[in-house]
């Protein structure tokens, strides 16, 4: 949520800040602003709405001279989207400028204290108290002042702060929100995300919780939570810059849908060696795996839906009780877990606030924690006993596609790996699954090659007011993701139901012209699904059926059919979800929705 960028060097700061914010706008786009320090004075320009407004207002940064600055794109938490509530926030005497991601939980008592001391506030945000508090504490020493500020704050934050008496340095601090430093030549950067700096430098330092850094053009000093200076070498990002650009596509979402075969291949590639699954990042012994008596999966949004698929797979292959919980529910329910529970946390960013809290709760109760994340060195990864990275590359569109698919792929690898280690499958079954997963990218490519069929269906139904997604067993888990995609980017009211539950209430919503998207990829339940289709058609529904390639004619059953290639049962979700992604994309396109930045949503949810 929200995006931070900072620059200190010898080039003009404002244009670079705007370019960085452009890469971060998926994190928040209610308002934006930049602050530049020039000749011991801080100048701030802010705007409500998309970044383009700010760019036009500053003539692409040319109206703000100076070689050091900070910027922010906002997803509102405290205070409505407005110019006043936009970051950066200035202290009353304009000595300090602050950009902030996160939530200051004790901002009200701090604000009350400062008001009594005569400070005047202009915004409704929690962030303004940081700037005002810095000015209140200031004794001429920037570093010592920020130490006092941090000791007063409660909550979560990623901070970048300017002081007009120190026109050559930015001070940054991190607690439960992502923050990285980009190390350049005669210039350095700070950002919420690597995507904002990768066009200028691929040398990255990740800050850990509790750390603070002082950044100058030719110097970076990092301090631990006790303010002892520490050394940390940067790591090199191996991304091609094109991975964070549209590269000819109209939207990042379509690009990322089309990247799924390669992303899945990259997830699989290094993990299958000489016909064996190799998961070097798992730190569990065979004895520990044997002792697992329950698997508990936590995630939010699409990551939760991956967990719903995983539940069926783990219970089928491992015969181990598996529960899947929304992270925000898990963390507050006093969960029944112990040292013999394996908790699997799924998060694209590795910074999802509720999932991070769930991981910490699980660790406190003695469970083993394995995380599935995309971002190396992220907070969830750091808190986990073992980590499996998806290697999906940057995903810019707010609505996830390739992250979902690569998370699914990790689930397949993990389930097969554990099943073989625990002798739950035979050698021939293990060999079969290896073959099937290696062929998965090709099969996804086949589904994508027929995207025009799905595009035609979108043209028929983009005016639908409601869409129902139904399935049984693992198909129901995929239906959940299909319904979410329709909600997220096309703003169509959509719901997913277990097909067997239709007659227990939801079928009352079916009327003439209702669109029902039916998933039926489990052969042993296919006839059951045919019965469900007949039930809704008898009440006037129009049915799109997604199923396996099959010899018999089923045109008389459904109105429209989408066939997926033959693949083993547990991996069919990776194929069935693709038409659902494409369907929602083209509906959103036809409705002229903002596909990559859907309203009220942000990519990395780092607040509760």
Distance CA 293, CA 291 (A): 6
DSSP code, position 208: P
DSSP code, position 442: H
Q: What is the end-to-end Cα distance of the chain in Å, rounded?
A: 11
The two beta strands, 341-347 and 368-373, are parallel
Q: What are phi and psi of 484, to 5 degrees?
A: -65, -45
Q: Hey, which residues does 45 pair with through a beta bridge?
A: 34
Largest CA distance in the chain: 81
Helices (H) and strands (E) in the chain, counts: 19, 27
Matching residue, tokens 């010898």 = 10
The two beta strands, 170-175 and 212-216, are antiparallel
Distance CA 161, CA 154 (A): 17
Measured at the alpha carbon of residue 413, what is the angle toward residues 408 and 414, in degrees to the nearest 5? 95
Distance CA 495, CA 469 (A): 6
In a 3-state reduction of DSSP, which class is residue 38?
Answer: strand
| Residue 238: partners with Cβ closer than 8 Å, 6 or more residues away | 202
Q: What are phi and psi of 170, to 5 degrees?
A: -115, 135
C-beta neighbour count of 528 within 10 angstroms: 15
Cis-peptide, bond into residue 88, ω within 30° of zero: yes
Residues labelled catalytic = 2, 603
Distance CA 59, CA 72 (A): 17
Distance CA 543, CA 97 (A): 56
Q: Are 365 and 338 within 8 A, CB to CB?
A: yes
Q: Are 179 and 158 within 8 A, CB to CB?
A: yes
| Residue 297: partners with Cβ closer than 8 Å, 6 or more residues away | 307, 310, 311, 322, 323, 324, 325, 343, 344, 345, 346
């Amino acid at each position: 949520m929200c995006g931070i960028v900072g620059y200190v060097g010898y080039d003009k700061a404002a244009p670079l800040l705007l370019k960085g914010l452009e890469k971060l706008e998926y994190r928040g786009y209610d308002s934006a602003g930049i602050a530049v320090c020039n000749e011991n004075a801080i100048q701030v320009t802010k705007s409500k709405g998309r970044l383009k407004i700010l760019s036009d207002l500053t003539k692409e940064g040319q109206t703000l001279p100076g070689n050091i600055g900070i910027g922010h794109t906002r997803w509102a938490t405290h205070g409505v989207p407005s110019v006043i509530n936009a970051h950066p926030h200035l202290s009353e005497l304009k000595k300090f400028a602050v950009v902030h991601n996160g939530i200051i939980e004790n901002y009200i008592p701090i604000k009350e204290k400062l008001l009594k001391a005569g400070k005047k506030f202009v915004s409704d945000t929690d962030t303004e108290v940081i700037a005002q508090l810095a000015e209140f504490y200031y004794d001429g020493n920037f570093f010592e002042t920020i130490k006092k500020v941090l000791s007063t704050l409660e909550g979560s934050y990623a901070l970048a702060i300017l002081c007009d008496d120190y026109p050559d340095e930015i001070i940054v601090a991190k607690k439960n929100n992502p923050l990285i430093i980009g190390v350049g030549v005669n210039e350095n950067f700070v950002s919420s995300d690597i995507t904002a700096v990768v066009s200028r430098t691929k040398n990255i330092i990740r800050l850990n919780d509790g750390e603070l850094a002082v950044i100058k053009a030719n110097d970076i000093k990092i301090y631990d939570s006790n303010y002892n200076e520490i050394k940390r070498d940067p790591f090199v990002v191996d991304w091609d810059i094109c991975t964070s650009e549209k590269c000819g596509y109209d939207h990042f979402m379509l690009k990322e849908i089309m990247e799924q075969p390669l992303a899945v291949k990259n997830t699989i590639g290094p993990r299958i060696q000489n016909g064996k699954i190799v998961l070097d990042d798992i730190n569990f012994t065979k004895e520990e795996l044997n002792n697992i008596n329950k698997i508990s999966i936590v995630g939010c949004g699409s990551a939760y839906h991956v967990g719903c698929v995983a539940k069926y797979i783990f219970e089928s292959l491992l015969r181990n009780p598996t529960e899947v919980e929304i992270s925000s529910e898990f963390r507050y329910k006093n969960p029944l877990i112990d040292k013999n529970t394996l908790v699997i946390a799924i998060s694209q960013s590795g910074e999802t606030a509720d999932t991070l809290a769930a991981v910490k709760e699980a660790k406190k109760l003695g469970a083993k924690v394995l995380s599935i994340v995309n971002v190396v060195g992220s907070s969830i990864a750091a808190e986990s006993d073992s980590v499996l990275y998806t290697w999906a590359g940057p995903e810019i569109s707010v609505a996830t596609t390739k992250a979902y698919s690569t998370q699914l792929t990790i689930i397949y690898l993990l389930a097969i790996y554990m099943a073989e280690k625990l002798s739950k499958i035979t050698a021939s079954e293990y060999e079969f699954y290896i073959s099937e997963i290696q062929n998965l990218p090709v099969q996804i490519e086949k589904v994508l090659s027929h995207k025009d069929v799905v595009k035609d269906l979108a043209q028929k139904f983009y005016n639908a007011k409601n869409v129902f997604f139904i399935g049984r067993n693992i198909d129901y888990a995929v239906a959940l993701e299909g319904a979410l995609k329709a909600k997220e980017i096309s703003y169509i009211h959509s719901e997913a139901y277990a097909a067997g539950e239709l007659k227990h209430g939801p079928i009352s919503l079916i009327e003439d012209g209702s669109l029902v998207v039916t998933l039926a990829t489990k052969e042993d339940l296919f006839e059951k699904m045919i019965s469900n289709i007949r039930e809704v058609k008898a009440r006037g529904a129009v049915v799109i059926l997604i199923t396996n390639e099959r010899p018999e004619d089923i045109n008389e059953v459904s109105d429209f059919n989408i066939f997926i290639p033959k693949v083993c049962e547990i991996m069919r979700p990776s194929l069935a979800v693709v038409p659902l992604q494409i369907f929602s994309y083209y509906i959103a396109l036809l409705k002229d929705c903002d596909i990559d930045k859907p309203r009220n949503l942000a990519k990395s949810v780092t607040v509760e």
